[in-house]
Chain A
């Protein structure tokens, strides 16, 4: 197999420069998933904030926050470089805290959330992907530093 594999072998791309893009290899899958979640969270938040803000303001604002975080990580992954990598690490950590925090909050105090957010119940409405995504992202960003 001439192609690089996911395992211990370092990709050929690592040899030709220090500025390795974060959006290649396994990072490409993350770009796709963050893209999906950026679009999903942003369009959901936009619709709900415009059409039915009074029903559950807190939930809709939290959805908007998650959309901003997703968009920023997506931008960092595509841009690449060490600065973007660090910024993405901070945002992924923020995302993880957000999922865990909002997830717990929605379980403890249901009355505060008449309607769901993207991060409600640890992202159950989205197949729990929101809770796996930041963990995978952090692992990938850590490996990208060593490469």
Chain B
């Protein structure tokens, strides 16, 4: 369950990064549709946080330790909302570039989360 979610968020984060990166390339600020996209990715991040905590609560143990796992879960959930707020007050192409960067960071965090949980065989 959590592995599938991790992969799904990684893929959607990369898609969001490409989309906002394209907006930055076209010299456009983030628009309503972008914010809907960010909301979807953010929602997935929050679901992942909840699922991760539930898994911990029901006896699951991450390969690399609980503290690191929780820290990465929180970071992943906060990443896109934080850059989204930054782009709200930066109505230029650089706001779009900021969201794209945040989404790339999220994708990297998902790769790390996959390892930390001990993905695949756990």
Contacts and interface: CB of A to CB of B under 8 A. Distances in A.
Q: Do A and B come from one complex?
A: yes
Interface of A: 1, 3-6, 24-29, 31-33, 35-36, 39-40, 43, 47, 51, 127
Contacts of B11: none
A51 to B, nearest CB: 7
Interface of B: 27-29, 67-68, 71, 75, 79, 82-83, 86-87, 90-95, 97-98, 101-102, 105, 108
Contact of B98 (A1, A5, A29): A29
Given A4-B92, A26-B94, A32 B27 contact: no
Contact of B91 (A1, A3, A36, A127): A3
B97 to A, nearest CB: 5
Contacts of B82: 32, 35
A3 B101 contact: no
Nearest to A24: B90
B75 A3 contact: no
A33 B101 contact: yes
Given A28-B95, A32-B102, A47 B86 contact: no
Contacts of B67: 47, 51
B68 A3 contact: no
A39 B71 CA distance: 10
A93 to B, nearest CB: 23
A36 B105 contact: yes
Contacts of A32: 82-83, 86, 98, 101-102
A29 B82 CA distance: 12
B68 A28 contact: no
Contacts of A29: 94, 97-98, 101
B108 A127 contact: yes
A42 to B, nearest CB: 11
29 contacts: A1-B27, A3-B27, A3-B29, A6-B93, A24-B90, A24-B94, A25-B90, A25-B92, A25-B94, A26-B97, A28-B86, A28-B87, A28-B95, A29-B94, A29-B97, A32-B82, A32-B83, A32-B101, A36-B79, A36-B101, A36-B102, A36-B105, A39-B75, A40-B75, A43-B75, A47-B68, A47-B71, A51-B67, A127-B108
Nearest to B29: A3
Contact of A43 (B71, B83, B90, B93): B71
B67 to A, nearest CB: 6
Contacts of A51: 67
